[in-house]
Amino acid sequence: MQISGKKLYLFALLVVLIPFLAVKLAHSISKDSIIAPQEIGQGGIGLLKVRNNSTDTLEILWNKRNISLIPSVDNNTHFAFIGVDLTLKPGRYKLKKTDGVYTETKIISVYKKDYGIRRLKIPKSMEALDKKILDRVRNESRRIQRLFFESDKKPLWKGAWIRPVNGPVVSPFGRRSIINGIERSPHSGVDLKAFKGEPVKATNNGVVVLVEECFFSGLSVIIEHGGGIQSMYFHLSKALIDRGQTVKKGEIIGLSGSSGRVTGPHLHFGIRLDRARVNPIQLIDLSREIGG
Ligand SMILES: [Zn+2]
Residue 211 CA to ligand 1 centre (angstroms): 17
Q: Does residue 279 belong to any structural domain of this protein?
A: yes
Q: How many residues does the structure list for the chain?
A: 292
Average pLDDT over all residues of the chain: 87
Is residue 80 located within the same domain as residue 175?
no
Residue 65 CA to ligand 1 centre (angstroms): 27
Average pLDDT, stretch 170-178? 93
- Contact between 168 and 193 (Cβ < 8 Å): yes
Residue 171 CA to ligand 1 centre (angstroms): 7
Is residue 175 located within the same domain as residue 99?
no
Taking 60 as the threshold, does the pLDDT of residue 147 lie above it? yes
Residue 187 CA to ligand 1 centre (angstroms): 6
Q: Does residue 147 belong to any structural domain of this protein?
A: yes
Q: Does residue 95 belong to any structural domain of this protein?
A: yes
Is residue 240 located within the same domain as residue 191?
yes
Residue 80 CA to ligand 1 centre (angstroms): 26
Is residue 98 located within the same domain as residue 143?
no
Is residue 255 located within the same domain as residue 281?
yes
Of 111, 136, 156, at which residue does a domain stop? 111
Residue 173 CA to ligand 1 centre (angstroms): 8
Residue 227 CA to ligand 1 centre (angstroms): 24
Is residue 125 located within the same domain as residue 263?
yes
Is residue 150 located within the same domain as residue 175?
yes
Residues near ion ligand 1 (Cβ under 5 Å): 191, 268
Residue 147 CA to ligand 1 centre (angstroms): 19
Is residue 155 located within the same domain as residue 280?
yes
Give how many domains the chain has, as a whole number. 2
Taking 90 as the threshold, does the pLDDT of residue 57 lie above it? no
- Contact between 142 and 211 (Cβ < 8 Å): no
Is residue 144 located within the same domain as residue 244?
yes
Instruction: Residue 254: give its domain's CATH number.
Output: 2.70.70.10
Predicted local distance difference test score (pLDDT) of residue 29? 40
Q: Does residue 254 belong to any structural domain of this protein?
A: yes
Is residue 219 located within the same domain as residue 280?
yes
pLDDT in tens, 206-256: 999 999 999 999 999 999 999 899 999 999 999 999 999 999 999 999 999
pLDDT band at 54 (very low <50, low <70, confident <90, very high): low
Average pLDDT, stretch 27-52? 80
Q: Does residue 24 belong to any structural domain of this protein?
A: no
Residue 157 CA to ligand 1 centre (angstroms): 24
Q: What angle do CA 196, 250, 225 make, to 5 degrees?
A: 105
Average pLDDT, stretch 64-69? 84
pLDDT band at 7 (very low <50, low <70, confident <90, very high): low
Residue 70 CA to ligand 1 centre (angstroms): 29
Predicted local distance difference test score (pLDDT) of residue 204? 97
Of 70, 87, 111, at which residue does a domain stop? 111
Is residue 60 located within the same domain as residue 189?
no
Residue 119 CA to ligand 1 centre (angstroms): 15
Q: Does residue 65 belong to any structural domain of this protein?
A: yes
Residue 199 CA to ligand 1 centre (angstroms): 18
Residue 270 CA to ligand 1 centre (angstroms): 8
Q: Does residue 18 belong to any structural domain of this protein?
A: no
Of 75, 91, 111, at which residue does a domain stop? 111
Is residue 88 located within the same domain as residue 142?
no
Residue 105 CA to ligand 1 centre (angstroms): 36
Number of C-beta neighbours around residue 27 at 10 A: 13
Residue 14 CA to ligand 1 centre (angstroms): 64
Count Cα neighbours of 36 within 13 Å in the Cβ-side half-sphere: 27
Cross-strand pairs, 104: 97
Q: Does residue 10 belong to any structural domain of this protein?
A: no
Pairing of strands 59-62, 238-239: unpaired
More confident residue, 43 or 30: 43
Q: What angle do CA 240, 243, 248 make, to 5 degrees?
A: 65
Alpha carbon 75 to chain centroid distance? 22
What domain range is 53 assigned to? 30-111
Instruction: Residue 85: give its domain's CATH number.
Output: 2.60.40.1590
Residue 214 CA to ligand 1 centre (angstroms): 14
Residue 102 CA to ligand 1 centre (angstroms): 43
**Measured between alpha carbons, how far is 77 from 79 in angstroms, rounded to an integer?**
7
